[in-house]
Amino acid sequence: MLFGEIYDCAGRIRTINLSKGNFRFAPALYLLAALETIEKMPQSTFDEIIGKYIEMNIAHPFREGNRRSTRIWLDLILCNELGRVIDWNKIDKDDYLLAMERIPIKDIELKHLLREALTDQINERELYMKGIDHSYSYEGYRTYKAGKL
């Protein structure tokens, strides 16, 4: 639904293998099994939730929009389980992208960045909308502002 008017493949699980730089995401052949496993992962603590987020990023289920949609997904899980969300305005783009590149090997950097940006302001619409804008800027998108849509 997020990208239905932008990408023909929006919302469909990918059937091709994808990579970014030197990193290969979960092979399409095993993607459905990986997603089933991720769905069953525990999510009652911060570390469990971030572990699930990391696995979803590695799975990379869609052809486009994975990081953008999984950041929203992460906030929903954090909100539902812990009563917190990430204030994405507090996370530097370069630090985040570098931490994301390293997550298959070392997740401590990402956990630190996200933990430091946790907030309990889950009902603050402006924080949420600015967070989406900031989050999308990590991928180079600055054309629209969520609060003005």
pLDDT tens digits, one per residue of 102-146:
888 899 999 999 999 999 999 988 887 877 777 777 766 655 555
3 state SS of 93: helix
pLDDT of the residue at 35: 96
Q: Could you tell me the two tokens for 84?
A: 């917190």
Which ranges in the chain belong to alpha helices (H)? 31-40, 46-59, 66-82, 93-102, 108-116, 125-137
pLDDT of the residue at 21: 79
Percent of the chain with pLDDT over 70: 85
Q: Could you tell me the two tokens for 92?
A: 């530097």
pLDDT of the residue at 84: 96
**Is 8 inside any structural domain?**
no
pLDDT of the residue at 2: 52
**Is 135 inside any structural domain?**
yes
* Residue 24 scores a pLDDT above 70: yes
User: Over the chain, what is the mean pLDDT?
Assistant: 85
pLDDT of the residue at 129: 81
**Is 34 inside any structural domain?**
yes
pTM of the predicted structure, to 2 decimals: 0.83
Closest CA to 57 of 117, 114, 123, 142: 114
In whole angstroms, give the CA distance from residue 136 to residue 143: 10
- Structural domain count of the chain: 1
User: pLDDT tens, 47-98?
Assistant: 999 999 999 999 988 877 778 789 889 999 999 999 999 999 899 989 998 9
**Is 18 inside any structural domain?**
no
Percent of the chain with pLDDT over 90: 49
Q: Could you tell me the two tokens for 125?
A: 């619409």
* Residue 20 scores a pLDDT above 90: no
**Is 21 inside any structural domain?**
no
Q: Could you tell me the two tokens for 64?
A: 């486009």
Are the beta carbons of 63 and 81 closer than 8 angstroms? no
pLDDT of the residue at 33: 97
Task: Write the CATH number for 37.
Answer: 1.10.3290.10
**Is 16 inside any structural domain?**
no
State how far the alpha carbon of 107 is from the alpha carbons of 66, 72, 102, 112, 132, in Å.
18, 19, 7, 9, 23
pLDDT of the residue at 63: 74
Amino acid in position 98: L
Question: Could you list the residue range(s) of the whole structural domain that residue 46 is in?
Answer: 28-142
Amino acid in position 127: L
**Is 2 inside any structural domain?**
no
